[in-house]
Amino acid sequence: MKLFVGLGNPGAKYVHNRHNIGFMALDRIAGDHGFGPWKAKHQGSLTEGRFGSDRAVLLKPETFMNNSGQSVQAAMRFYKLDPADVVVLHDELDLAPGKVKHKVGGGHAGHNGLRSIHAHVGPDYARVRLGVGHPGHKDRVASYVLHDFAKADEAWLDDVLRGLSDGAPFLAAGDAPKFMNAVALRVAPPRSGTGKKAPKPRSDTPQPPAVTPAPDAPSPLQKLMDKFR
């Protein structure tokens, strides 16, 4: 069984914040895959369901971002899970908007939600890093992540959320490459090939008559040689 943790802040005013993209991802996954109703458990909002034969629990900690680890630890204890069974979906400043990366272990890179999870369960869990871009200066980071996505972000954000939902069954099965491929098919679908040969004309299409090139005019030397033949 996998525990999917989406990071964000509880409350209506935070719903569309960049910091809440983890919550958005779980909402899309739960809705698309027919998970049960959300319930208040383990200091968070939780729902259970299946991807085929793979059982999964989705958790949105409601302790606010800085204390996310408390909720994650409580859920892990209840379900008797190890860090290897946990996947955290979170906003990532160091990735361009629309970019998605999967990794296992590593540092928290200053992300307060990850910092809290590290403190409570250690670093050996999987993360799905959801790029939201960087405001350009560290002093603007807090304001940036606590503001709503812009209107211009809607198209790529929808593609990312759809891709995460498409790939969720593979994530639950522990197949990260197939998960990433499913996401890529949404955010960067393959384009039709270019540089192909032009199609042959139909047999019933009238063709221009063939033009026979005129012979070159004889040179003066050629004319002189012809007189002595």
Catalytic residues: 19
- Return the percent helix, strand and coil in the chain, to nearest 5: 40, 20, 40
**Beta strand segments in the chain, E:** 2-6, 39-41, 44-51, 54-61, 86-92, 100-104, 126-131
Task: Say how far residue 138 (Cα) sits from the centre of its chain.
Answer: 24
Burial, 197: exposed, middle or buried (Cβ in 10 Å; 0-12, 13-18, 19+)?
exposed
Q: What is the dihedral of CA 140, 146, 152, 158, to 10 degrees?
A: 140
DSSP secondary structure letters along 88-154: EEEEETTS-TT-EEEEES---TT-HHHHHHHHHH-S-SEEEEEE----SSGGGHHHHHTSBPPGGGH
Separation CA 91–CA 20 (nearest Å) = 7
Amino acid, single-letter form, for residue 90: H
